[in-house]
Amino acid sequence: MTQTDISTILVTGGAGFIGSAVCRHLVKERGLRVVNLDKLTYAGNLASLKSIEDNPKYHFCKTDICDETAVLDILKRYDVDAVMHLAAESHVDRSIDGPAAFVETNVVGTFRLLSAALSYWRDLSSARQESFRFHHVSTDEVFGDLPLDRGIFTEETPYSPSSPYSASKAASDHFVMAWYKTYGLPVVLSNCSNNYGPFHFPEKLIPLIILNALDGKALPVYGKGANVRDWLYVEDHARALELVVRQGVVGESYNIGGNAEKTNLSVVETICDLLDDIVPASGGGARRDLIRFVADRPGHDLRYAIDASKAQKDLGWEAKESFESGLRATIKWYLENEWWWRPLREKRYDGERLGLKA
């Protein structure tokens, strides 16, 4: 079996935002066999996988990555060719309020998963050992932040995490590379910029603003909204991740970004303008009037910017969606899929975590 012969992939965190996009892409677009391993925490939602839940190539296992014995059993039972590790606690605000869960899942969980994968890999034939991959999916936040007027993250940028979340992801990145250097486990690693798109959990910035604006509620923006992020449409990211696990060079990392730097305020204003164009407010007012600036969060990185040229050159990947086209598609999806977000919305993820009583 060669690397391109990978046919069964274990996706951890496959009921999450990015993980579910990966599962849908691999099953629907690529016809691969996918085993989705997810603990189903607050951000895990099997409704995001409705379109493939009855597909014979899709399998779901409700399992905690910290359960090393259970993970090893699943690897053996499904004869897995590759692991794509996306399971993580990922919300920065939550990491500030309760960092212990981030250490447990992102650091200890990754260690347990690596241990299970190493045991499984060691029992494979030499040919399958050669083609097996452990793909660890990380974030650009491990690099810290950049000045507003210069700099960009490359694969060689030193790590300088600012929040408990990014520190936990940085630690997990280092564990993954250590398992390659010490034990020879064939790993690849990717670091991505901010994702957006369908099935995004409602407490995250873009869906929060879309849904609050539709409801005529306050639109919270940290500080003065000057913080800059690079935005990547989630389905473009899913395609990139498949290329990394199939074609990525063992022991190397790949930055995945959308080449779409925007201030937080400009993101919110663009959403307001698009909604005003697509579904004008009943009272005829401009939704920009709903914007409310709130106290900045501790350790809020100023700017992220990704250089994705290595992935473009070595893997032949490029984003298909611009920020504007992707955002319009995202808004349209939320307008058409209330069945998915309404149950989550009713759990009060509408800005109260940001100090707003909307």
The question of whether 140 is a catalytic residue gets the answer yes
Catalytic choice (38, 64, 89, 140): 140
C-alpha 154/C-alpha 85 separation (Å) is: 21
Beta-ladder partners of 262: 229
C-alpha 27/C-alpha 193 separation (Å) is: 24
Q: What angle do CA 102, 105, 110 make, to 5 degrees?
A: 125
C-alpha 161/C-alpha 170 separation (Å) is: 7
C-alpha 249/C-alpha 253 separation (Å) is: 8
Catalytic choice (38, 64, 89, 141): 141
Please choose, from the candidates 116, 106, 158, the residue with its C-alpha nearest in 3D space to the C-alpha of residue 136: 106
The secondary structure of 100-139 as a DSSP string is: HHHIIIIIIHHHHHHHHHHHHHHTS-HHHHHH-EEEEEEE
Catalytic choice (165, 233, 304, 334): 165
Look up residue 214 and give its two tokens: 């539709």
The H or E element spanning position 182 is helix 164-183
Catalytic residues: 140-141, 165
